[in-house]
């Protein structure tokens, strides 16, 4: 069965390419507004399902995914601007947070949580990271595989989950959906 990646994320595309998967990419148009009283996990699972549904094509299985960063009770989405990015980085500085990614293949969905601890950041480091653009369009205003990775002290769980696509769970779901895998 063919694979469709229903995501505009270059990181998700790169992961699948490195695995040797053949797929087409579609950029789904999904309203990412969080519903009232929706938990962070329910939120990303709903969006992953909606993205997979938007990418559905005859004779293919679609992958949809969504990632969020949670600190305390606050969901940190994508920053609106540099000031918002700096605000998020101040919250993350010197603390643990959770990255939740849900991946849906067809109608099946799995969510993965990874704990991440940032070093204490100075105002100069926060300003530099926010202005760099490296965390633009990324949940929590940072990319672990980018500049902010230099300030990650610890990670408990899946690295690929923090980047935006938990690979183990994605491959399990693709196998269950009878997708074409490179080793089959």
- Model pLDDT for residues 6-42, shown as the tens digit of each residue: 998 999 999 999 999 999 999 999 999 999 999 999 9
Does 184 fall in a domain? no
Residue 140: what pLDDT? Answer: 95
Q: How far apart are CA 75 and CA 83, in angstroms?
A: 17
3-state DSSP assignment of residue 71 = strand
In a domain, 181, yes or no: no
Q: What percentage of residues in the chain have a pLDDT greater than 90? A: 92
State how far the Cα of 53 lies from the Cα of 56, in Å rounded to an integer: 5
Catalytically annotated residue among 66, 81, 84, 137:
66
Catalytic status, residue 136: no
Q: Which domain holds residue 124?
A: 2-176
Identify whether 183 is part of a domain.
no
Q: What mean pLDDT value characterizes the chain?
A: 95
pLDDT of residue 184: 79
Give the chain's domain count. 1
- pLDDT at res. 1: 83
Question: Is residue 144 included in any domain, yes or no?
Answer: yes
Residue 160: its H or E element? helix 159-163
pLDDT in tens, 112-150: 999 999 999 999 999 999 999 999 989 999 999 999 999
Q: Could you tell me the pLDDT band of residue 73, with boundaries at 50, 70 and 90?
A: confident
Residue 143 lies in a domain: yes
Q: What is the DSSP letter of 33?
A: P
Whether 112 contacts 166, CB under 8 Å: yes
* Domain CATH code at residue 138: 3.90.950.10
pTM of the model: 0.93
């Amino acid at each position: 069965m063919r694979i469709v990646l229903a995501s505009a994320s270059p990181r998700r595309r790169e992961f699948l390419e490195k695995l040797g998967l053949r797929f087409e990419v579609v950029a789904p148009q999904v309203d990412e507004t969080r519903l009232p009283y929706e938990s962070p996990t329910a939120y990303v699972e709903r969006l992953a399902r909606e993205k997979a549904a938007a990418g559905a094509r005859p004779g293919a299985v679609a992958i949809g995914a969504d990632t969020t960063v949670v600190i305390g009770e606050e969901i940190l989405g994508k920053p609106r601007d540099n000031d918002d990015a700096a605000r998020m980085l101040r919250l993350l500085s010197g603390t643990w947070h959770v990255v939740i990614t849900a991946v849906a293949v067809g109608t099946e969905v799995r969510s993965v949580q990874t704990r991440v601890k940032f070093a204490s950041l100075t105002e100069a480091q926060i300003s530099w990271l926010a202005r760099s653009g490296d965390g633009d369009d990324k949940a929590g205003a940072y990319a672990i595989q980018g500049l902010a990775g230099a300030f990650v002290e610890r990670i408990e769980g899946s690295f690929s989950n923090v980047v935006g696509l938990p690979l183990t769970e994605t491959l399990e779901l693709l196998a269950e959906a009878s997708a074409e895998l490179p080793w089959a």
